[in-house]
Amino acid sequence: MVLDPPLASPIVGRLAVIGVGLIGSSILRAAKARGLAGTLVAYDGADAVRQRARALGLADLVADTPEQAVADADIVILCVPVGAMSAVAQEIAPHLKRGAIVSDVGSVKGAVLNALRAHLPEGVHIIPGHPVAGTEYSGPDAGFATLFKNRWSILTPPEGADPAAVARLSELWTAMGANVETMTPEHHDLVLAITSHVPHLIAYNIVGTAADLEKVTQSEVIKYSAGGFRDFTRIAASDPTMWRDVFLNNREAVIEVLGRFTEDLIALQRAIRWEQGEALFDLFTRTRAIRRSIIEIGQETAAPDFGRERD
């Protein structure tokens, strides 16, 4: 998978990325590969990450402070954990130029919108966003330019947002290969609760349960990992800080979906207990169809072993 060729001219004068982890470094790589910004600026709170970003050549300028990073920026994308949004917004607020677009990449949108609104000044366009893409890896070395290719990037502009600012941010994500869609923050948080947040919670829980079983040693759990458990461990290897913040900041939607999941799980338990084979077969048939639909729209591969390369 490759990106389209570089543009004839940049679509953003100065693009600042705050947080150089998987998503932030991928944005920088994609923007650099396609020539999307006249000047690329990066900042990370960790000195070691800033040094690594410089060594990798991820930006034209790796700033030493967030103030330096956002100065004169046309678009600022916050790639920090959801729980850090408020503090970062407060820190950069006095240094944003009027008309700047401030967005983010967090997996929760309602809480982020509230955090940004609480601190950012009038005249700044707040347009939260969420690229639905990622891996279980983190850090500046984990990013790659094609991470967003053919993936969805959801924008959740608040009521009254400037259409021109929304269109400009949408253009940036489209140029990085993403398919862009807009929705309300509330709807986003409910949709992501079922498609991402609760599945991650289940993965964390099942891996933890397996590790805690008194009759099975941890070495056996690792040694005899079958495909299903192995895939759960991949999801459960995701960044713990990020996911802690996701669950705390989207707790209402997550609890709502967990309630429904619990009811369905009890029904499934009952079907197994009473040997209701037809009910089990019908459920597995429906869920198999969902898997096929995901493959058909290009959001997954039908290749053997889920597209994993063999050694």
Report pLDDT digits (tens) over 245-300. Answer: 999 999 999 999 999 999 999 999 999 999 999 999 999 998 888 878 777 777 66
At position 291, the amino acid (one-letter code) is R
Tokens read off for 19: 């947080």
> 162-176 burial string, b = 16+ CB within 10 Å, else e?
eeebbebbbebbebb
Q: Nearest CA to 73 among 105, 109, 45, 37?
A: 37
Q: Nearest CA to 104 among 167, 151, 173, 51?
A: 173
Report pLDDT digits (tens) over 109-131. Answer: 999 999 999 999 999 999 999 99
Residue 306 has pLDDT above 70, yes or no: no
SS (H, E, C) the chain: CCCCCCCCCCCEEEEEEECCCHHHHHHHHHHHHHCCEEEEEEECCCHHHHHHHHHHCCCCEECCCHHHHHCCCCEEEECCCHHHHHHHHHHHHHHCCCCCEEEECCCCCHHHHHHHHHHCCCCCEECCEEEECCCCCCCHHHCCCCCCCCCEEEECCCCCCCHHHHHHHHHHHHHCCCEEEECCHHHHHHHHHHHHHHHHHHHHHHHHHHHHCCCCCHHHHHHCCCHHHHHHHHHHCCCHHHHHHHHHHCHHHHHHHHHHHHHHHHHHHHHHHCCCHHHHHHHHHHHHHHHHHHHHCCCCCCCHHHHCCCC
Ranges of CATH 1.10.3660.10 domains, the chain: 187-298
Q: How far apart are the first and last CA of the chain?
A: 20
d(CA 247, CA 170): 27
The pLDDT confidence band at residue 311, using thresholds 50, 70 and 90, is: very low
**Class in CATH terms, 187-298:** mainly alpha
Mean pLDDT calculated for residue range 88-99? 98
Are the C-beta atoms of 18 and 79 separated by less than 8 Å? Answer: yes
Residue 38 has pLDDT above 60, yes or no: yes
Q: Nearest CA to 171 among 158, 186, 159, 155?
A: 155
Q: What is the pLDDT of residue 310?
A: 37
In the block, tokens 């993936």 appear at 151
Tokens read off for 254: 């997550």
Report pLDDT digits (tens) over 158-174. Answer: 999 999 999 999 999 99
d(CA 27, CA 147): 9
> 224-257 burial string, b = 16+ CB within 10 Å, else e?
eeeeeeeebbebbebbeebbebbbebbeebbeeb
Mean pLDDT calculated for residue range 231-255? 90
Ranges of CATH 3.40.50.720 domains, the chain: 12-183
What CATH number should be reported for the domain whose range is 12-183? 3.40.50.720
Q: What are the φ/ψ torsions at residue 17 (nearest 5 degrees)? A: -115, 120
Q: What is the pLDDT of residue 155?
A: 98
How would you classify residue 245: left for phi > 0, otherwise alpha for psi between -120 and 50, otherwise beta?
A: alpha
Sign of torsion, CA 246 251 253 255? positive
Prediction pTM value: 0.86
